[in-house]
């Protein structure tokens, strides 16, 4: 259809475009300065705003935006407002590494949040490290994110290990003797979590009648569930996320199992599932808490987003993360070096999840994270008190 | 056992509904319709919206969903699929992928990405047999499926348009000559398929209890396998395939666990295809050449690239960009280069041998794992690990794929997709934990871990890849492989061992996929099975189609566009995927034979 010379010219044009782009990107990063006075302090956010993890990216964004509004209304960081630069990685490592490079090259960015999944966060870590930019993986519960990372990886997320050791201990304390288990067979989350649970269960003498690895992409768990409850365990533990737990608990009840369900997540689809009522989990954040900090956050959130029925752990982690980042920047100074220094020094940052946050500089995680047993009642998680 | 059987019947019901639509469109249009997967998610979200948000009764919501999906199907077929199917079926397949991206993301913008609880419109566990509880809702689903199947069956047998659909499915040319309005028939088939997709989506959500806009993909994939299992184009086959797969899966999961689900699904598929190459009830394709690429070679003619372009490209890519570009562009460039290496190697399978293999992520994963494990647990260095990873990928992939070369037609693509998926699933079972701390490249004591170093290493590997591919194309071997792709019957008649050469071409492609995987692993320094998805396989295929299916250097252009576009579109985060889909459709519309191949 087209004479080949045109096509050849197009090929050349393509190559040239690539070169121009390269130059443009180079010059844009060169002009960026450190900034001072009333210039905004920029934090980067690498998260999924499209694709299969977009639900979480959206929850993070709402909470981030609220926190930024509040921080700026209160004078920002020593008079300088805070602003966020969002990049959509789809939580895909192919894109999270380029996003990391983009943030590293952008001298205005003094700290980067994210990514959502470990499979996207950990491949980006070497780039953040070599760019001397702190990567604050506030959602990364995989212990390896900080263990295998460097001084540039920090997290306020409780590790899966800590969470599921607690669960095994708690079950034992409740007098439960045997459990059936399903866990997500995923490398970055479910498997390490199950291993921590299993090791602790063995230690405290809690019998696991059967454990089945399942996938969150499955829709039908009945064949696995019939096996998992065949040994008639007293209670059932599911190590997974909200949407898969919602499907799973419905089907668990459908096959006639009546024991207590220890699992699920403070997440909309799980909270709204009728069969999920009565589920018990270790909570870090309770929306219904009477703590004035939590109440103020929940009220402000619902005021800003009147359509949101629930404020979950996902919003809380992002809200806390931004406040921690601001406290860190105030402590060490709003530069990349200052942020790194600030993380090591900051103490007792007010938190809606933990009450207050102090880091353990050795693990780069929160010291003594507090966990509270909660039960799902009428679509809301409330503190579970046993007599 | 009875419990498992009932669970299998219930899931089989959903698969059967999904498979019928896929089979119908394939029968009359010869197009594998990825957009069908999106209709599952869309149907579920629309039903959720009508019932949970607007408070409409379920009896009203269901027909509304069906009508909307049918109308949308008509629009899609009118504007995108049919115009492109007239050029090339392969272009149409790519465009249905683009449509599915647009649909999923438009739905995500409209309904947000959240998982929603699907309202319980009917009791779900009020009845029981043994320990197994089920509900009125399950019975209604089974009943509706039965009624729909009988109705469609009667329509195809006695209805005028129905008969025309069957005639078109049997022989499109003959149907045209008999005066059948093939265009209209194809529209009707697409509309019915879309409506069925919406209906299946509602049922999936009803059965599963939660839904989000992209939740159709997984069930869609299984429904696709069910359609293939039954024999593409055979509606009865789709129903049989759906129920058979549902029941076999349920028992498979019971004995081997849910983690083995994908292995079970595809193992069943591959076994059936080896025994019955046309599926359980389908026709065995008469021509064994892959129909997609077969038509392709006839229509496209390689573009003569003037000689000066090569040194210019070498200087720009190898010297100018590394000198002037910032780290962000270099890192993006690295991703482009790695995918260009994988895709360039793939052209020998897709273009020359005429096999549109769909499971390249499997070979990439083998290369990545081999390289990671070798450098971590043996004294082998990064530099030696790259070719070794390629070799291991080539050997394992060829052995695993060896039974499928007797499979014919479209089924070969689907069988390779199965092999790729099984490879990743087996890796997940064998090495469930992610691998950390994969060494970065170094030379002596110098660490070569800067974006520029990665870029230069990958650029050098790409140049070598292109040289090797160029040599293969020019050699006697390359000519034999091409003869297999362009006319398999003639090649067979000339005494060429067609199967062996297809396998050899596949091994060459797997080698470069393994090399690409190795390069990715050493850049990420961390790998786990979630990285090597079906979307990765599709990306490789789309890159190759976009650049011109038989041109190794076309793959470079395809990679620049498809990976570069995702970065260039960052200025519009909300619409990024939708614009990406539109760009894909436009390119396919104006260059249906690929950017660098002239269409006739």
Does A219 sit within 8 Å of B207, measured CB to CB? Answer: yes
pLDDT (tens digit per residue) in B553-569: 889 998 998 888 778 88
Does B105 sit within 8 Å of A122, measured CB to CB? Answer: no
A304 band by pLDDT with thresholds 50, 70 and 90: very high
Least confident window among A97-106, A326-335, B496-505: B496-505
pLDDT (tens digit per residue) in A158-211: 998 889 999 999 999 999 999 999 999 887 788 889 999 999 999 999 999 999
Beta strands in chain A (DSSP E): 41-47, 82-88, 109-113, 134-136, 153-154, 178-184, 207-214, 235-239, 260-263, 280-283, 349-351, 355-357, 359-360, 365-366, 372-377, 380-383
User: Rounded to whole angstroms, what are the CA distances from A312 to A138, A285, A319?
Assistant: 15, 7, 11
- pLDDT above 70 coverage of chain B, percent: 94
Least confident window among A76-80, A355-359, A383-387, B580-584: A383-387
Peptide bond into A115 cis (omega under 30): yes
- Taking the CA of residue B555 and the nearest CA in chain A, the distance in Å comes to 13
Structure ipTM over 0.90, yes or no: no
pLDDT (tens digit per residue) in B347-406: 999 888 888 888 899 999 999 999 999 999 999 999 999 999 999 999 999 998 888 887
Question: Which positions ≥6 away from B86 have C-beta within 8 Å?
Answer: none
Residue in B100, B113, B333 to test binding to A, most A beta-carbons within 10 Å: B113
Query: What does B126-143 look like in DSSP terms, one character per residue?
Result: SEEETTEEE-HHHHHHHH
Phi first, then psi, for residue A155 (nearest 5°) are -150, 145
Would you state the pLDDT for residue A387?
A: 56
Would you state the pLDDT for residue B30?
A: 79
CB B335 within 8 A of CB B534: no
Q: Is the dihedral of CA B579, B585, B590, B593 positive or negative?
A: positive
Distance between CA atoms of residues A117 and A195, nearest Å: 19
Does B209 sit within 8 Å of A246, measured CB to CB? Answer: yes
Per-residue pLDDT averaged across A43-58, rounded?
89
- Taking the CA of residue B258 and the nearest CA in chain A, the distance in Å comes to 5
Would you state the pLDDT for residue B302?
A: 58
- Taking the CA of residue B168 and the nearest CA in chain A, the distance in Å comes to 30
Q: Compare CB distances from A4 to B304, B568, B573 and report the shortest one's residue.
A: B304
Distance between CA atoms of residues A226 and A255, nearest Å: 7
All residues of chain A having their beta carbon less than 8 Å from the beta carbon of residue B219 are 219
Query: What does B572-583 look like in DSSP terms, one character per residue?
Result: -TTTHHHHHHHH
Distance between CA atoms of residues A26 and B325, nearest Å: 5
Q: Does the structure show a pLDDT above 90 at A63?
A: yes
Q: Compare CB distances from B125 to A88, A243, A253 and report the shortest one's residue.
A: A253
Question: Which positions ≥6 away from B545 have C-beta within 8 Å?
Answer: B90, B91, B94, B350, B558, B594
Residue A281 backbone class (left: φ over 0; alpha: ψ -120 to 50; beta: rest) = beta
Phi first, then psi, for residue B129 (nearest 5°) are -125, 120
Distance between CA atoms of residues B425 and B363, nearest Å: 12
A97 band by pLDDT with thresholds 50, 70 and 90: very high
Would you state the pLDDT for residue A115?
A: 92
User: Which structure tokens are listed for A384?
Assistant: 């579970």
Buried b (16+ CB within 10 A) or exposed e, B569-600: beeeeebbbbbbbebbbebbeebbbbbbbbbe
Would you state the pLDDT for residue A50?
A: 83
pLDDT (tens digit per residue) in A116-165: 988 899 999 999 999 999 999 999 988 889 998 999 999 999 998 889 99
Beta strands in B40-137 (DSSP E): 116-117, 127-129, 132-134
Q: Does the structure show a pLDDT above 50 at A222?
A: yes
For B600, the closest chain A residue by CA position comes to A1
pLDDT (tens digit per residue) in A260-300: 999 999 888 899 898 999 999 998 898 888 899 999 999 99
Distance between CA atoms of residues B593 and B88, nearest Å: 8
Q: Compare CB distances from B257 to A50, A122, A212 and report the shortest one's residue.
A: A212
* Closest among A91, A56, A49 to A313, alpha carbons compared: A56
All residues of chain B having their beta carbon less than 8 Å from the beta carbon of residue A122 are 434, 436, 524-526
pTM here? 0.85
User: Rounded to whole angstroms, what are the CA distances from B163 to A281, A322, B185, B195, B230?
Assistant: 58, 64, 10, 19, 21
Give the CA radius of gyration of chain B: 24
Does B530 sit within 8 Å of A187, measured CB to CB? Answer: yes
Does B324 sit within 8 Å of A12, measured CB to CB? Answer: no
Residue B4 CB neighbour total at 10 angstroms? 20
Residue in B106, B207, B331, B569 to test binding to A, most A beta-carbons within 10 Å: B331
CB B226 within 8 A of CB B19: yes
For A215, the closest chain B residue by CA position comes to B259
- pLDDT above 90 coverage of chain A, percent: 63
Residues of chain B with confidence (pLDDT) below 70:
87-89, 130-133, 284-303, 409, 597-600
Average pLDDT, chain A: 87
């Amino acid at each position: 259809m087209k004479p080949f010379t045109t096509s050849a010219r197009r090929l050349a044009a393509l190559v040239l475009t690539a070169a121009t782009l390269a130059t443009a990107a180079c010059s844009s990063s060169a002009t960026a300065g450190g900034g001072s006075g009333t210039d905004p302090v920029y934090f980067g956010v690498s998260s999924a705003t499209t694709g299969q993890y977009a639900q979480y990216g959206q929850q993070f964004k709402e909470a981030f935006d609220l926190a930024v509004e509040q921080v700026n209304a209160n004078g920002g960081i020593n008079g300088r407002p805070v602003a966020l630069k969002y990049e959509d990685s789809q939580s895909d490592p192919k894109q999270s590494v380029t996003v990391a490079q983009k943030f590293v090259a952008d001298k205005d960015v003094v700290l980067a949040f994210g990514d959502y999944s470990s499979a996207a966060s950990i491949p980006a870590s070497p780039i953040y490290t070599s760019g001397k930019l702190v990567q604050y993986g506030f959602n990364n519960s995989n212990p390896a994110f900080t263990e295998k990372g460097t001084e540039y990886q920090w997290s306020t997320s409780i590790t899966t290990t800590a969470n599921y050791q607690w669960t095994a201990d708690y079950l034992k304390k409740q007098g439960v003797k045997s459990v059936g288990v399903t866990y997500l067979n995923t490398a970055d989350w479910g498997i390490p979590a199950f291993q921590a649970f299993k090791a602790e269960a063995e230690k405290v003498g809690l019998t696991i009648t059967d454990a089945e690895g399942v996938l969150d992409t499955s829709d039908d768990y009945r064949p696995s569930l019939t096996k998992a409850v065949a040994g008639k365990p007293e209670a059932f533990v599911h190590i997974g996320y909200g949407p898969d737990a919602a499907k799973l608990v419905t089907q668990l009840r459908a096959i006639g199992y009546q024991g207590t369900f220890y699992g699920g997540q403070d997440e909309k689809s799980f909270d709204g599932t009728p069969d999920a009522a009565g589920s018990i989990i270790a909570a870090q954040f309770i929306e219904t808490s009477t703590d004035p900090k939590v109440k103020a956050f929940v009220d402000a959130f619902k005021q800003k987003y009147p359509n949101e029925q629930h404020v979950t752990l996902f919003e809380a982690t992002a809200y806390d993360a931004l406040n921690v980042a601001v406290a860190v920047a105030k402590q060490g100074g709003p530069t990349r070096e200052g942020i790194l220094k600030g993380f090591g020094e900051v103490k007792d940052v007010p938190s809606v999840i933990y009450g207050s946050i102090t880091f353990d500089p050795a693990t780069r995680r929160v010291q003594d994270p507090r966990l509270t047993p909660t039960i799902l009642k009428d679509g809301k998680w409330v503190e579970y008190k046993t007599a | 056992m009875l419990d498992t059987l009932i669970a299998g019947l219930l899931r089989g019901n959903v698969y059967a509904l999904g498979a019928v639509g896929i089979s119908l469109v394939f029968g009359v249009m010869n197009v594998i319709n990825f957009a069908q997967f999106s209709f599952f998610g869309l149907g579920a979200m629309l039903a959720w919206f009508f019932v949970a948000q607007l408070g409409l009764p379920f009896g009203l919501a269901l027909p509304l969903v069906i009508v909307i999906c049918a109308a949308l199907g008509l629009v899609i077929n009118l504007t995108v699929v049919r115009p492109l199917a007239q050029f090339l079926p392969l272009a149409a397949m790519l465009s249905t992928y683009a449509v599915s991206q647009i649909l999923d993301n438009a739905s995500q913008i409209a309904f947000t990405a959240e998982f929603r609880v699907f309202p319980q419109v009917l009791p779900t566990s009020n009845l029981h047999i043994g320990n197994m509880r089920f509900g009125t809702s399950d019975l209604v689903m089974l009943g509706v499926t039965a009624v729909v199947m009988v109705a469609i069956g009667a329509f195809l047998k006695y209805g005028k348009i129905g008969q025309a659909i069957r005639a078109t499915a049997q022989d499109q040319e003959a149907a045209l000559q008999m005066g059948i309005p093939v265009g209209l028939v194809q529209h009707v088939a697409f509309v019915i398929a879309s409506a069925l997709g919406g209906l299946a989506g509602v049922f999936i959500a009803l059965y599963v209890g939660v839904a989000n806009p992209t939740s159709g993909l997984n069930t869609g994939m299984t429904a696709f396998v069910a359609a293939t299992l039954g024999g593409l184009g055979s509606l009865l086959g789709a129903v049989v395939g759906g129920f058979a797969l549902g029941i076999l899966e349920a028992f498979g999961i019971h004995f081997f666990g849910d983690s083995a689900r994908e292995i079970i699904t595809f193992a069943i598929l591959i076994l059936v295809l080896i025994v019955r190459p046309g599926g359980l009830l389908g026709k065995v394709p008469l021509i064994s050449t892959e129909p997609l690429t077969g038509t392709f070679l006839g229509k496209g003619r390689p573009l003569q690239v003037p000689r000066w372009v090569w040194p210019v490209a070498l200087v720009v890519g190898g010297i100018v960009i590394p000198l002037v570009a910032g780290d962000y562009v270099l890192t993006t460039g690295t991703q482009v280069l790695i995918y260009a290496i994988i895709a360039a190697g793939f052209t020998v399978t897709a273009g020359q041998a005429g096999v549109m293999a769909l499971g390249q992520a499997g070979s990439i994963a083998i290369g990545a794992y081999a390289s990671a494990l070798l450098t971590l647990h043996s004294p082998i260095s990064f530099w030696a690990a790259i070719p070794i990873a390629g070799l291991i990928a080539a050997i394992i992939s060829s052995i695993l794929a060896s039974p499928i070369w007797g499979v014919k037609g479209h089924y070969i693509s689907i069988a390779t997709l199965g092999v790729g998926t099984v490879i990743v699933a087996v890796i997940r079972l064998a090495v469930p934990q992610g691998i950390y701390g994969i060494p970065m490249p170094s030379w002596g004591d110098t660490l070569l871990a800067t974006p520029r170093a990665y870029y230069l290493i990958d650029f050098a590997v790409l140049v070598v890849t292109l040289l090797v591919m160029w040599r293969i194309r020019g050699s006697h071997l390359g000519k034999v492989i091409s003869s297999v792709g362009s006319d398999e019957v003639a090649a067979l008649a000339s005494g060429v061992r067609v199967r062996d050469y297809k396998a050899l071409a596949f091994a060459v492609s797997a080698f470069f996929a393994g090399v690409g995987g190795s390069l990715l692993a050493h850049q990420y320094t961390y790998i786990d099975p979630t990285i090597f998805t079906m979307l990765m396989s599709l990306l490789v295929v789309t890159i190759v189609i976009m650049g011109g299916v038989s041109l190794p250097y076309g793959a470079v252009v395809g990679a620049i566009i498809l990976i570069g576009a995702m970065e260039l579109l960052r200025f519009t985060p909300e619409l990024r995927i939708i614009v990406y889909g539109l760009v894909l459709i436009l390119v396919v519309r104006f260059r249906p034979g690929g950017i660098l191949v002239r269409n006739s």
